[in-house]
Each structure stands twice: as structure tokens, then as C-alpha cells.
Structure 1
């Protein structure tokens, strides 16, 4: 099974979402969404309960780990202890998990999170903190998939019960990883489509990074290429979740629908499509 969704439910003008009911309207188009806002601030359980209640039974969420959980920031900037941070995060996702709508928790690590003993130990620490919850790992440092480390990296993810997140992103040396079409979990593999804008990718610390970082529209040949990749991945894992993150120019929704068409996928259990005011 291949499940396609987008990062967030707000920045997709081509879907023509109602301003007051964006998530519900989004759920009429796709069966899954990646929650990006949880990276910047841990949401309240009341908020996540509303997300779960406001979506169809078959709808699913991939929720990003908070930025201090992935060492983009230090936990002591926000909490009195690391345990408090993890506890608050667990409380936040509980309504989604308890509703059966949690597909995975995405730990997206920064480019400076390289393959070394300290960071391997931290991955083991995450496994102890998260317990049986589904955890997907995304690396952004090429050292994890170097010739010397790739097989050990995949074996570690498998040992810890972590889901390998395969990425399509600009190739800019050590600050990005190659496409590695390997599953580490027999149930689920995550694929994130960031686009291939090398110039924008290198603007991560500039004021304009949101406008250019994922400014990219996949062409027909690239969509066909990924359709073949996904068909191959289905041999290794029961479900492949594909998330289009190329949002800077509003291309994610169109590319996701193009891939869905290429794969001849029709989803059931979506929210009802809002009727146009002037339709019969």
C-alpha cells in the first residue's frame, strides 16, 4: 500500500481550502498529513484531540518531534529537564495515538548530526524514551550513508525498531543524504520529497529560506521515476508513506496528485468534498 500526503494542511492554495475548515477540507483530498508545527512548539493535548476528532476514521498523522528532541536546540531552553520535555510531548500526541490515527513520529535530525558514537547512543536513548510508539528517523548528514557506515546505519535502525525515512533532496555534499531505497521496518517506510533546488537548500540560515528552500516542482519524468522506486519498496514493507514537502512555491499538492494518478491509486474513507456554492 502507498499512502500519499503533504506537509501541513494550510499552505496549499491549489486545494482551495476553506479558511475556517482547512484540516477537514484537506482530508477530502489526502488520507494523511505531516504535522510540521510540532517541531517548533509542542501542541496542547486539546489541540491534537481536535485534530483527531475533526478528521475521518481512516485519516492518519505523521507528527514531527520537537526541535530539542532532535538536537536542533537544547532542551534546557524550554524545560527544567529532558524527561519533562519528553513527557509533555507524549501528552501532546496521546489523543492522536489513542484514536489510532498516529502513523509515525518523525525525528528529523540536523545536518550537523553526524554518524558518531555519541549520536548512536542518543538514538538508543530515543528508543527508550519513546517505547513502543512508531518512530521514523530522517538523517541529513551524509556520513550515516557513507560506504563504511550505510549497512551499519540500516542495521541499527532495524535493531531499534525505527522506520527508515528515505529522502529526495538536493545533493550538496555532507549536508544531504542520497536516496537509499531500503526498508528497516516490515510494516512501514517513510519517503519525504523535499525537491531538488540546490541553491535554495543551501540558504537554510538566510531570512529567505522559507521562500526558496523547497522551491521545486517535480516534472513528469521525476514522478515516473519515483513511481518505480515506490513499487520496488513495496516488496520490502507493507506500507510506504510518501510526503511531499516542496511547499515553497505551492507545488506539493499538485505533485502529490500527479504521483497518485501515475500509480492509479484511489483512496477511500476521505472526508466529503465541500460542494461549490453554485453547483447543482
Structure 2
């Protein structure tokens, strides 16, 4: 039988609101309890500060072999150096996060809203990335000029994030390299706070199943964590997706 491509569903971070604890095992660290219910997580803390390689290795050792981490590229690279002159910083980051081994599922590259697409800069950065890292990666640009980068993203096997909300025209749909489809749900109408209603989650479940049927690596990360909405939204979507695996 053909292998079914998994859907990597999870949250931005593995913090568990107390009211959701009954849905998770009682024993273990927060990460272990989280990983018992969800197949993936997005590490956002790497954007703000480095983690020791040993920390990544410890995280990898505490989750099932099928679990996957998405790791956000540091702001030093994306926001401070703006993708330029960052080979050393990029190598340092990769030396750290690749200690996740096979549980490293994706790199997330989120750009500042002010960063315009400049082909020479983008080509040099993604060339440097691909010289060091062959795995899945996605880009979340926030300036419309990056719509012009589609040929480059496809050539370098970089997916473009489907974000909600998004400042990009058509940015609520995935683009770039079609081998990965990555949905980041920040909360709408109030970003980082709002919970998604069941109708939205039902439509999202249908979309993710369609991506799965097409053989893409499908990710869905809830980033509406400020008021604790991410975990219940992810649990509800997980329940909606379960019949497809039956």
C-alpha cells in the first residue's frame, strides 16, 4: 500500500493551558505530554535567542520518532542582517538545530514587513542555505514584492507560508515549491488572540486532506497563543482530521 503523507499539526510552542491538561497525559515534561497528542510543534524561541545543540538533542530524545519540529530562523538573520552577510550566523544556527536529527522537519523563515524582495540578495541567501541544508524550508514574507520570488522559491525548493492574517495579496494560500504546504494561523480578527470557529476548522481540515492527497508535506501551526486559543483549536482540528486516517 502507498505511504500516506502525514499532516503535521501543532502549535507555536508546547505550552499547555491548565484548562486543557485533561486532554494530555499526566506524566512527563510539557513537551512529552504535548507530543503524545500532536505530531508537530513550531519552535519560535529560536527567533529570539540561540539554544545549545545539547538542548535540541534533548528535545529530540524526548519525543516519538515520528514527531517533527519546525524551527524559526533567528531574527539576527532575517530582521537585523536582512538576509545579507549572514553566512556565519546561518551556519551557527544550523549547527544548533540540526542536532534535532530526523525530528527536524522544517525551517521557518519569517521576514519583516519592511523587507522588499531583491533578487540578488534572495538568490545569495537561499543559495547559502541550500549549500548547508537540504531539508524542508518555508518563507513567510510580509511585503508584496516577494510575490515576484515565485520562480526562485520553486527552484530552491522553498515553500511560501499561507498565513492568516496576511498583508500579502493572496498570502492566505500556500505558494512557492509545491512539495510543502505550510499554514500559520495567527488568529483573526485579533491577531495572536482570536480563536477559530468550527466552520473555519472544518474548511481547513478539507484543505489539509486535499494537500495530503496530492502528496505534499502539509503543516498547520496555530500561533494564536496569547490567550490560550491555539491548543483547543489544534485539538478540535485534530479530531476533525482523524476520520481521514481511519
When the two structures are superposed, what TM-score results if normalisation uses the length of structure 2? 0.83
Residue of 188, 198, 204 corresponding to 1:196: 188
For the pair shown, which has the larger CA radius of gyration, 1 or 2?
A: 1
Structure number with greater CO (CA < 8 Å, separation at least 6) is: 1
CA distance in 1, matches of 2:20, 2:206: 26
Q: Secondary structure at the match of 2:162?
A: strand
Residue of 86, 94, 99 corresponding to 1:95: 99
Relative to its length, the structure with more helix (as a share) is 2
- Asked if the contact 1:193/1:246 (under 8 Å) is kept, the reply is yes
- The 1:69–1:6 alpha-carbon spacing in structure 2 relative to 1, beyond 3 Å, is same
CA distance in 1, matches of 2:111, 2:95: 22
Deviation of the 1:83 alpha carbon: 3.4
Question: What pairs up with 1:26-45 in 2 under 5 angstroms?
Answer: 26-45=34-53
- The 1:232–1:59 alpha-carbon spacing in structure 2 relative to 1, beyond 3 Å, is closer
Q: Secondary structure at the match of 1:34?
A: strand
**Cα-to-partner distance string for 1:224-255 (whole Å, 9 max, x where unaligned):** 22223223333544321111111011000111
- Asked if the contact 2:90/2:129 (under 8 Å) is kept, the reply is no
Q: How many residues align?
A: 236
Give the gaps of 5 or more residues in structure 2: 1-5
Matched with 1:15 is 20
CA distance in 2, matches of 1:123, 1:237: 28
Matched with 2:3 is none
Deviation of the 1:11 alpha carbon: 5.2
Matched with 1:106 is 108
Deviation of the 1:177 alpha carbon: 6.0
- The 1:114–1:255 alpha-carbon spacing in structure 2 relative to 1, beyond 3 Å, is same
Residue of 161, 168, 180 corresponding to 2:173: 180
- Asked if the contact 1:12/1:252 (under 8 Å) is kept, the reply is no
Matched with 2:72 is 64
- Asked if the contact 1:157/1:184 (under 8 Å) is kept, the reply is yes
CA distance in 1, matches of 2:122, 2:196: 34
Q: Secondary structure at the match of 2:76?
A: coil
Instruction: Indicate the RMSD between aligned Cα atoms, in angstroms.
Output: 2.7
